[in-house]
Amino acid sequence: MTRLEFPKNFWWGAATSGPQTEGRFHKSHANIFDYDFDKFPEHFWHGIGPDTASNFYNDFKQDIALMKEAGLNSVRTSIQWTRLIDDLETGTVNSDAVRFYNDVIDEFIKNDIRPVLNLHHFDLPVTLLHRYGGWESKHVVDLYVAFAEKCFELFSDRVSDWFTHNEPMVVVEGGYLYQFHYPDIVDGRKAVQVAYNLQLASSKAIAAFRKLNKHPDGKIGIVLNLTPNYPATNSESDQAAAHFADLWQNRLFMDASVNGEFPTELVDILTRDNVIWQTSNDELETIKKNTVEYLGVNFYHPNRAQAPRYSSDSLAVDWLPNKYFEAYDKRGVRMNVDKGWEIYPKALFDIAKNIQENYGNIPWFVSENGMGVSREDRYLSEDGMIHDDYRMTFIKEHLYYLYKAIEEGANCFGYHLWAPIDCFSWRNSYRNRYGLISVNYHTQKKSLKKSAHFFRTLSETSSIEISEFEMKK
Ligand code: BGP
């Protein structure tokens, strides 16, 4: 056995989001998932929607006490635009929402847990989609910035750590390319504009933060799913496919957020294909000037790409980024079969190296990592506890590669698991469980899993013991 010592003051925590935990109690507006559920409950696993989620709106004190027991020293959640803002045009706030978020922040601080707040976790108010086309619209960008300003004015006296979006590429892919989030559109041109507008919104929110932040240690960043894209083979065509996929999936937001510019190569391709976003010199200047101070990196699985096997004429619409690459499922790899995601911990090392070598070694943390399985009650033991040893192994294997990267100089300051408590997971609802703490969604009874005790030791000692076997995976 080897003991791996992590830096002191490392963030040992977990991440979740407002729409996945709070429930819809007293909410002013419906977000796109609330609306999707109201209209098409069949889109959701077992017809279970976001109405109650994990009842954080009512249970937050008890939930935060459980998070404390699990040893979390930092927790990310998000402020729901659809809860905080009553009038989406004028930006008047909802007083119950202000009371709720103040109470939540104070409760975290009372428990010595650093609150980390994100502003947008896929949860656009649906009215803005129907009225203006959602993220296709620059007016919506400005309404988002007004919402962000309210958050900074109200809460930045006590909250030092802020993030503008969670995984903006998932908004693009889910809503505008691959139909796994409402509005389920397939339109590459719209997807390109949505991606640009999300970046613009992030940069404008950062500019607002610099004016309004009240915290002496206040910082702002973005959470990206910065997933390496490995070519299926060493052939030139597969390498070109993986290169484009990397430009589109990773570098679009990463280069703009960290370096202040979109990759020229990507802009050239989109221009040549006549699908480039509408922009202006002023907007590009805003993006240039308002880069992030740090980054959150979500990592679950690697991406693999191969050259498209069919001509782009066979695409369902005029243009899709898949003109240049196709997802490749490698045979014989380790899989989380419940989610269909490959398990490849070494990718975390590759991510760290990429940030170190290509992005000035900007400070970052693992803002989501984790493994959700279905029917987790199969691990329920006679002692009444879920013995999720598989989750502990998954965490250890990833921490091993993170440790190696830190040893080689990676500027990583924390590790957040998805999620502190089992939560509502979009259309998958409660199918796959990710938490250190389990939820019975019928009774809302919550209990620590075995991994919560493991995580507490990890956090208290800032170190783990790992076997040769676990290191080799
Ligand atoms: C990330 C999201 C989270 C969470 C997680 C697990 O991409 O940021 O919100 O949902 O994935 O995925 P899923 O809920 O689809 O199982």
Of 435, 473, 442, the C-alpha closest to 69 is 435
Ligand 1 atom nearest the C-alpha of 372 is 16
Contact 25, 80 (CB under 8 A): no
- Measured from the CB, is residue 426 less than 6 Å from ligand 1? yes
Residue 415 CA to residue 75 CA, distance in Å, equals 10
Distance 374 CA to ligand 1 centre (A): 14
Q: In this predicted structure, what is the pLDDT of residue 468? A: 78
Our count of domains for the chain comes to 1
Contact 33, 80 (CB under 8 A): no
Catalytic residue numbers read 167, 368
- Measured from the CB, is residue 167 less than 6 Å from ligand 1? yes
Residues 6 or more apart from 227 whose CB is under 8 A from it?
A: 249, 250, 299, 300, 301, 302, 303, 347, 351
Angle at 167 between CA 315 and CA 386, to 5 degrees: 110
Distance 369 CA to ligand 1 centre (A): 10
Distance 425 CA to ligand 1 centre (A): 6
Contact 430, 50 (CB under 8 A): no
Residues 6 or more apart from 291 whose CB is under 8 A from it?
A: 203, 206, 257, 258, 259, 260
Q: In this predicted structure, what is the pLDDT of residue 252? A: 98
Residue 309 CA to residue 323 CA, distance in Å, equals 10
Cα-atom radius of gyration of the chain, to the nearest Å? 21
Contact 358, 414 (CB under 8 A): no
Long-range CB pairs of 394-398, under 8 A, 24+ apart, other chains included: 394/343, 394/370, 395/369, 395/451, 395/454, 395/455, 395/458, 396/464, 396/466, 396/470, 397/343, 397/345, 397/470, 397/473, 398/299, 398/345, 398/348, 398/366, 398/369
Distance 161 CA to ligand 1 centre (A): 21
Q: In this predicted structure, what is the pLDDT of residue 313? A: 67
Residue 390 identity: Y
Residue 431 CA to residue 417 CA, distance in Å, equals 18
Angle at 308 between CA 302 and CA 311, to 5 degrees: 160
For the chain, 473 residues long, the average pLDDT of each consecutive 10-residue run is 94 98 97 97 96 97 98 98 97 98 98 98 98 98 98 98 98 97 97 98 99 98 96 98 98 98 98 97 98 98 94 76 94 92 97 98 98 95 96 96 98 98 95 96 96 98 88 70
* CATH code assigned at 293: 3.20.20.80
Of 95, 211, 111, the C-alpha closest to 153 is 211
- Which residue has the least CA distance to atom 6 on ligand 1? 425
Residue 436 CA to residue 454 CA, distance in Å, equals 9
Cis peptide before 183 (omega within 30 of 0): yes
Task: Using CA atoms of 57, 58, 61, 62 in order, give the dihedral in degrees to the nearest 10.
Answer: -120
pTM over 0.85: yes
Annotate 387-396 with b (16+ C-beta within 10 A) or e (fewer): ebeebbbbbb
Report strand pairing: 161-166 vs 219-224.
parallel
Of 206, 222, 368, the C-alpha closest to 294 is 222
Phi-psi region of 55 (alpha: psi -120 to 50; beta: other; left: phi over 0): left
Most informative mutation of 31, 172, 426, 431 for ligand 1 (most atoms within 8 A of CB): 426
Ligand 1 atom nearest the C-alpha of 16 is 9
- Measured from the CB, is residue 166 less than 6 Å from ligand 1? yes
Distance 1 CA to ligand 1 centre (A): 33
Domain that holds residue 429: 2-471
Q: In this predicted structure, what is the pLDDT of residue 219? A: 98
Terminal-to-terminal C-alpha distance of the chain = 15
Residue 17 CA to residue 135 CA, distance in Å, equals 20
Phi-psi region of 61 (alpha: psi -120 to 50; beta: other; left: phi over 0): alpha
